[in-house]
Amino acid sequence: MGVADKVDFALAFYMLHEAPSKAGLLREVKSLLKPDGRIYIIEPKFHVSSKAFEEMTGIIENIGLEIVERPTVFLSRAVLLKIR
């Protein structure tokens, strides 16, 4: 990604569904987080089905992230994550 320092927060807005490897991208973002850092994922309901979004949450749990919150975002599916 070209990021050298650890970060407090990462935002994936309407893009994770485009990644060839969701798990690979999330692992890389996780490796850049500070210990208390968060990742906020927001995906469009018109591109990402409820089933596909829930499959993504399975990937999240398998790579050592946990869901902190499921915020309501207009016309979107969203989760806030932290390192487990």
Q: Is the pTM of this model over 0.85?
A: yes
- Once rounded to an integer, what is the mean pLDDT over residues 40-45? 98
* Amino acid of residue 32: L
- Once rounded to an integer, what is the mean pLDDT over residues 57-83? 95
Task: Select the CATH number that applies to the domain covering 7-83 from these four: 3.20.20.70, 3.40.50.150, 3.40.50.970, 3.40.50.1000.
Answer: 3.40.50.150
* Amino acid of residue 20: P
Highest mean pLDDT among 1-10, 11-20, 53-62: 11-20
- Once rounded to an integer, what is the mean pLDDT over residues 13-36? 95
- Once rounded to an integer, what is the mean pLDDT over residues 73-84? 96
